[in-house]
Structure 1
Amino acid sequence: MTDPMIATVLLGLLILLLAAGVWVAVALTIVGLVAITLFSNAPAELIMATTFWGHSHTWELTALPLFILMGEILLRSRLSRDMFSGLAPWLGRAPGRLLHVNVFGCAIFAAVSGSSAATAATIGRMSVPELTGRGYPENLIIGTLAGSATLGLLIPPSIILIVYGVATEQSIARLFIAGILPGLMLIALFAGYVAVRALMNPDLIPTETARTTFSEKLHASRSLIPVGLLICGVIGSIYAGLASPTDAAALGVLLSIGLAWSSGSFSWSLFWQAVLSATRTSCMIAFILLGAAFLSVAMGFTGLPRNLATWISDMNLSPHILLMALTLFFIVLGCFLDGISVVVLTTSVIMPMVTAVGIDPIWFGIYLVIVVEMSQITPPVGFNLFVIQGLTGIDILRVAKAAFPFFLLLLFAVVLITIFPQIVTYLPNLMRN
């Protein structure tokens, strides 16, 4: 059987299993078993056992449940609510006014949660009722929330960057640092869009009658200090070389517990809720990673990735043409799968192609995360869309329509980092030097 036929059979089997509602981790394992049993002479059971064992105690993976726990703790504390009161006085006079709270609030919470869905849920609980009550247009409230919440995937500490780093054996610390400048770029694009819409149609934005003095703004900003300390403690320790991502994750958990307790809004009951929720999420991701690792090894025994990479190399495609094709592929795939599944499903096959045309794996990781961010606001399986629908009760198609301009901004961000790759690579290279 030829390589295209093998690839078609395995892809068809995977699609069939996923369409039947089989768990992603189980579907990946089944496809791996079929691949290694039918298309190689390797002992399937032995390879599956050794792969599961070898990938279940990766030290870098320890950061994953810790960062998830940190986000769950903050989700249940008063610190997230304090961000609104700390940001609102500074943004009341900007074009777009309090709509920027969605953008900057999501950016700040993304820097301490690592999760897009948690960011949408936390900021949405605060901002949607407040902005709706003040008369801001629904499409901009929902759109800014859906689009800005995707920053949770990119701004470190990012759960999906940890997954990508483990799956491709790249430095998680360098991936975290690489996400900083693209994250700031996206914040600027989102805030710029809001400002332009407000300037083009001033009647969209209600007038803020309350005026605050500079001293009152500084007083309100005190509520941002705990979150700022947490960000500096986690990201600063990694960038300064004082801690590995795993060490920084443990530090983040301790700081988040201390800050949550000191705010007076935390309890043992909420702590155990956070632990149980983090455990469920971590186990889900871990099982998906184990299934993906086995599929990757099985594909290696079939020789399919190597032959596919050789085929791509022989076509002499330019990196830009390959990226255009991959962008379309990931957008379509993201319509039906969550971001983590997209990453673990594709890296074993895609990475040989990427390295064959000379694309930096660190740069590709950031590119992949931005494209996956698009899938978070793309129906029918856009996680952010479901979260916001649950918060507001608004039809998911209306939510998707409101988020569409931010989908285009994410696509524009992909173009920018492709034309100017230094946006991604400058800080990691500086860190290495």
Structure 2
Amino acid sequence: MLLLSLATVVTLLVLLGSGVWIAFALMGTAWMALTFFSPFAPGPVLASDFWGASYGWDLTALPMFIWMGEILFRSGLADNMFRGLSPWLNRLPGRLLHTNIIGSGMFAAVCGSSAATCATVGKMTLPELERRGYDSNMAIGTLASASTLGLLIPPSIMLIVYGVVTEQSISRLFMAGVGPGLMLLALFMVYLVIWSLLKGDRAGLAGHDESTMSLGEKLRNTWALVPILVLIGGIVVTIYGGLASPTEAAAVGVVLSMAIARWNGSFDLTTFKASLFAAIRTACMIAFIIAGASFLTSAMGFTQVPMQLARAIGEMGLSPTMLLVALTLLLLIMGCFLDGISLILLVTAIIMPLVSAAGFDLIWFGIYLVVVVEMSQITPPVGFNLFVIQSLTGKDIFTITKATLPFFLLMLLAIALMHLFPDIALYLPQAMNR
């Protein structure tokens, strides 16, 4: 087992380090494992897994939600959110810095992509916050961390991928993501309030005082939030009300996003084509990686590595808490070098038998896994959100990483709270089954 495990890890690292596409790296590793360490021919297994991983109905939700996010990315939605939120946040300690957190949370609820959330909200908020004299490091930190919620708050592309490969209910995963998502939003905002109170005027709370607006002006600005609230409501009601599956709700979301973009006057044939082709490219890339990971999962199953690994770790007598600590450290290290989808697929291909044997609820573990992936989005050298903010601000990656460190630690706190109080993630899914 040790030789096979070492050979598998070395092969995967060599392929990934050589610049080969992630899907090809996964397939090459699986092919090697089957060829040299099992009696099974890799060709038929590859064909079967590619077909099985590509035709599932649940997977249809993935390109639809991606397309919805692409449409909204081009519709000026972030501008509407800033205008609608800023008048009401001016008296809260931290003032307009909260627009990064709340705006990212709202956009995450209709986008599902961390990078798209970061880029869309950041293009609007960062210049405005800089112009009004806010602390640049806190503006960067709140944006980079809150935009990762696009991976957790439904509709989450990561949760769809996890649900497909582990055969868990995507509706239940979506419900499980609500509580932890709101908890992270609350943690970020509480930290910002405490930071602002401690810093006082040095916190960069200068600038135009939105509180001088009359109530009528505030309400008129808040009207800009109506489209996004309608979109969120349309998706949430259809899924949680049992009116539609996540795939059908995704189709509803696409139609509503087109209507919003048209209402904003920013939807034409050019926008339609650009959003469609961008969604196709992203969805095909993810589907290809899923197929490669499915092949690796089968290869690991035929070689018995995950089961033997689970047995070996089980014999070590680690408590669930210590096992979770060890997995978190391992995943954070892997997350420094792999993107989120690849990390999720590698984990499900290799260590899911260990997770099941340890007694973790697979719905809960999916939420935990996505939170760890969120953390990897703000850790170098492959933190996608860091690169997005670097392109928006021109700051070096070390400055951006330093600004996100407090929020990284808050995510660790969120994992600890989820472990101590599993109902944070499991209450809604369990309520659905009653």
- TM-score, normalised to structure 1, is 0.98
Q: Is the 2:93–2:196 contact (alpha carbons within 8 Å) kept by the matching residues of 1?
A: yes
Work out whether 1:163 is the aligned partner of 2:161: yes
Cα shift readout 1:364-389 (whole Å, capped 9, x = no counterpart): 00000001101000001100000000
What residue is the counterpart of 2:183 in the other structure? 185
TM-fit CA distance, 1:316: 2.5
> Which residues of structure 2 form unaligned runs of 5+?
none
Q: For residue 265 of structure 1, what is the aligned residue in structure 2?
A: 266
SS in 2 for 1:179: helix
Tell me the residue number matched to 2:8.
10
Contact residue 72 and residue 257 of structure 2 kept, 8 A: yes
Mapping 1:141-152, distance limit 5 Å: 141-152=139-150
Q: Secondary structure at the match of 2:387?
A: helix
Deviation at 1:214, TM superposition (A): 2.5
Structure 1 window deviating more from structure 2 (388-397 vs 212-221): it is 212-221
Aligned to 1:104: 102
Structure 1 match to 2:239 = 238
Q: Distance in 2 between matches of 1:191 and 1:304?
A: 43
Measure how far apart 1:267 and its partner are. 1.4
User: Per-residue deviation at 1:263?
Assistant: 1.5
Is contact 1:97–1:205 with CA below 8 Å preserved after alignment? Answer: no
Q: How does 1:2-401 map to 2 (within 5 A)?
A: 3-203=1-201, 204-207=203-206, 208-210=208-210, 211-401=212-402
* Alignment partners' CA distance in 1, 2:209 and 2:241: 44
Does the alignment pair 1:409 with 2:407?
Answer: no
Amino acid at match of 2:29: V
Letter of the aligned partner of 1:300 in structure 2? Answer: G
What is the CA deviation profile of residues 236-259 of structure 1, one whole-angstrom value per residue up to 9, with x for unaligned ones? 211111111100001100110111
Would you say the 8 A contact 2:109–2:153 is kept in 1?
yes
Q: What is the alpha-carbon distance in structure 1 between the residues aligned to residue 46 and residue 145 of structure 2?
A: 39
SS at match of 1:218: helix
Report the Cα offset of residue 432 of structure 1: 1.4
**Distance (Å, rounded) in 2 between the aligned partners of 1:229 and 1:319:** 42
Counterpart AA for 1:124: G
Give the drift of 1:395: 0.6
Distance 1:235 1:115 in 2: 17
**Distance in 1 between the 2:48 and 2:428 partners?**
37
**How big is each residue's C-alpha offset from its partner over 1:11-54, in whole Å with a ceiling of 9 and x where there is no partner?**
01100111111110000000000111111111211111111112
Shift of residue 309 of structure 1? 1.8
Please tell me whether the aligned partners of residues 90 and 209 of structure 2 are also in contact (alpha carbons under 8 angstroms): no
2:209 corresponds to which letter in structure 1? T
* Cα distance, 1:4 vs structure 2: 1.5
The residue identity in structure 2 corresponding to 1:258 is A
Decide which moves more: 103-112 or 219-228.
219-228
Residue 91 of structure 1 and its aligned partner are, at CA, apart by: 0.5
Aligned to 2:351, what secondary structure does the other structure show?
A: helix
Task: Determine what percentage of the aligned residue pairs are the same residue.
Answer: 55
Is the Cα contact below 8 Å between 2:82 and 2:99 reproduced in 1? yes
- Structure 1 residue 306: Cα displacement: 1.5
Structure 1 unaligned runs (5+)? none
Q: What TM-score do the two structures reach when normalised by structure 2?
A: 0.98
Structure 1 residue 271, shift from structure 2 partner: 1.3
The alignment covers a number of residue pairs equal to 431
Amino acid corresponding to residue 103 of structure 1 in structure 2:
I
- Aligned equivalents of 1:205, 1:421: Cα separation in 2: 38
C-alpha distance in 2 between matches for 1:160 and 1:50:
24
For 1:376-407, what per-residue CA distance to the aligned partner results, in whole angstroms no more than 9, with x for missing partners?
A: 00001100000000111111111111111110
Shift in Å at residue 310 of structure 1? 1.9
Q: Please report how far the alpha carbon of residue 314 of structure 1 lies from its aligned counterpart in structure 2 after TM superposition.
A: 2.4
Q: Supply the distance in 1 between the matched residues of 2:350 and 2:12 (Cα, whole angstroms).
A: 14
Using the alignment, how far apart are the partners of 1:135 and 1:13 within structure 2? Answer: 50
Asked if the contact 2:94–2:205 (Cα under 8 Å) also holds between the matched residues in 1, the reply is no
Cα deviation per residue 1:132-181 (whole Å; 9 max; x = unaligned)? 00000110111111011111000000000011111111111100000001
Aligned counterparts of 2:167 and 2:315: Cα–Cα separation in 1: 26
Distance in 1 of aligned mates of 2:184 and 2:237? 21
Q: CA deviation at 1:5?
A: 1.4
**More moved, 122-131 vs 39-48:** 39-48
Letter of the structure 1 residue corresponding to residue 36 of structure 2: L
CA distance in 1, matches of 2:349, 2:338: 17
